[in-house]
Amino acid sequence: MKKAKIYIPNKNPMQSGTGKSNKWVLEYETKNPTNNPLMGWESSSDTYSELKLEFSSKELAVNYAKKRKIDFELIESKKRKTVKKSYADNFLK
């Protein structure tokens, strides 16, 4: 049976914005990965490992997995705590 994980990908550490952080991704786990002896890359004959599906909500991703009888693991992300700061706060102390 296929096994997948549903999660929100982390933001790019090189960017300060939060773009594409509201999409849920369904990604299949790789079965029997092998190492290429020439290049040392990890490869697999399972084509599902190349597939990543994006959904606008968690419910849509879970319904998709349930409808197609896919075993899935739901990974909840932690909310990022933001502190609003002002340049003027440097001089008010």
- Over residues 9-25, the pLDDT tens digits come to 887 778 777 666 789 99
pLDDT of the residue at 1: 59
Calpha distance 61→25 (Å, rounded): 8
86-to-9, 18, 91 alpha-carbon distances in Å: 29, 20, 10
Angle at 30 between CA 41 and CA 19, to 5 degrees: 85
Asked: is 3-12+19-90 a CATH 3.30.160 domain? The reply is: yes
Instruction: Locate the domains of the chain by residue range.
Output: 3-12+19-90
Reference 8, options 79, 70, 66; nearest CA is 79
Predicted TM-score (pTM) of this structure: 0.70
Burial of 29 (0-12, 13-18, 19+ CB in 10 A): middle
pLDDT of the residue at 64: 95
- Over residues 56-77, the pLDDT tens digits come to 999 999 999 999 999 999 998 8
As a whole number, the mean pLDDT across the chain is 85
